[in-house]
């Protein structure tokens, strides 16, 4: 008998391969949008990206990385100067504090090198699983989990891939249906689709390549 056609009501595990295939075709340029040259820069940029656009972060980081090229430099920075340099990313006092304290720990516990292990990364101030997954996936090419940011959270729910709002539970649900070899890629694909098509306030459902697989399409 022929395979049963996929519908929005098909189980997530059955829909996800086609969702990934179509998103891959629609967004061949999907990748980390934060400009960086090493693991430290990516870590700092990801911390700055909380509640802030990647575009804004990319405007701040060139001067920031020029002034503080190493973890040692960030750890020894004048806090007020660091705060001023990251002010436009929002929540700048807390971000500056986390960056400086994370870099101090990197210097004293990891010889100045950003660790490549989830358990170590999440001990750093300001670093939870999302930030750790970004660094592990995009710099070290280690698939230890799936990045769950606001876009991934929104799309995973709209697509019926999860019923949860907690990022850890969403990540767990996605990891259960996405092959590990695609854990890094799926984050980029969902983020790009969220930015370009499945936007928070007004998703462009008529021009969505996975509309026929989305149980939320008719809601908009």
pLDDT bucket at 49, cuts 50 / 70 / 90: very high
Mind listing the pLDDT tens digit for each residue in 105-162? 999 999 999 999 999 999 999 999 999 999 999 999 999 999 999 999 999 999 999 9
Instruction: Cite the DSSP H helix spans in the chain.
Output: 12-26, 39-48, 54-67, 71-75, 79-86, 92-110, 118-121, 129-138, 150-158, 167-177, 183-196
pLDDT for 3: 72
Task: Indicate which residue of 138, 144, 149, 173 is catalytic.
Answer: 149
Closest listed residue to residue 189, CA positions, set 219, 210, 162:
210
pTM: 0.95
Question: Is residue 2 over pLDDT 70?
Answer: no
Q: Is 130 tagged catalytic?
A: yes
Mind listing the pLDDT tens digit for each residue in 80-93? 999 999 999 999 99
pLDDT for 97: 98
Q: What are the structural domains, with CATH classification, of the chain? A: 12-31+145-219 (1.10.1670.10), 39-138 (1.10.340.30)
Q: Is 149 tagged catalytic?
A: yes
pLDDT for 4: 83
Average of per-residue pLDDT across 62-71? 98
Task: Indicate which residue of 130, 138, 144, 153 is catalytic.
Answer: 130
123 neighbors 105 (Cβ within 8 angstroms): yes
């Amino acid at each position: 008998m022929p395979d049963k056609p996929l519908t929005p009501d098909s189980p997530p595990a059955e829909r996800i391969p086609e969702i990934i295939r179509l998103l891959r075709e629609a967004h061949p340029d999907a990748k980390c949008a934060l400009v960086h040259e090493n693991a430290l820069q990516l870590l700092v940029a990801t911390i700055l990206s909380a509640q802030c656009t990647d575009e804004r972060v990319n405007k701040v980081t060139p001067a920031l990385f020029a002034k503080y090229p190493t973890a040692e430099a960030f750890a020894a920075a004048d806090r007020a100067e660091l705060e001023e340099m990251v002010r436009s990313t929002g929540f700048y006092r807390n971000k500056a504090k986390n960056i400086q304290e994370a870099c101090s720990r990197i210097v004293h516990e990891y010889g100045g090198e950003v660790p490549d292990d989830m358990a170590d990364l999440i001990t750093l101030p300001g670093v939870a699983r999302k930030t750790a997954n970004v660094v592990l996936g995009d710099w070290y090419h280690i698939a230890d989990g799936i990045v769950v940011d606001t876009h991934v959270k929104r799309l995973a729910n709209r697509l019926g891939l999860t019923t949860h709002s907690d990022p850890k539970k969403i990540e767990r649900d996605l990891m259960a249906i996405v092959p590990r070899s695609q854990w890094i890629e799926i984050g980029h694909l969902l983020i790009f689709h969220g930015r370009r098509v499945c936007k928070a306030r007004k998703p462009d459902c008529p021009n969505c390549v996975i509309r026929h697989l989305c149980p939320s399409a008719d809601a908009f």
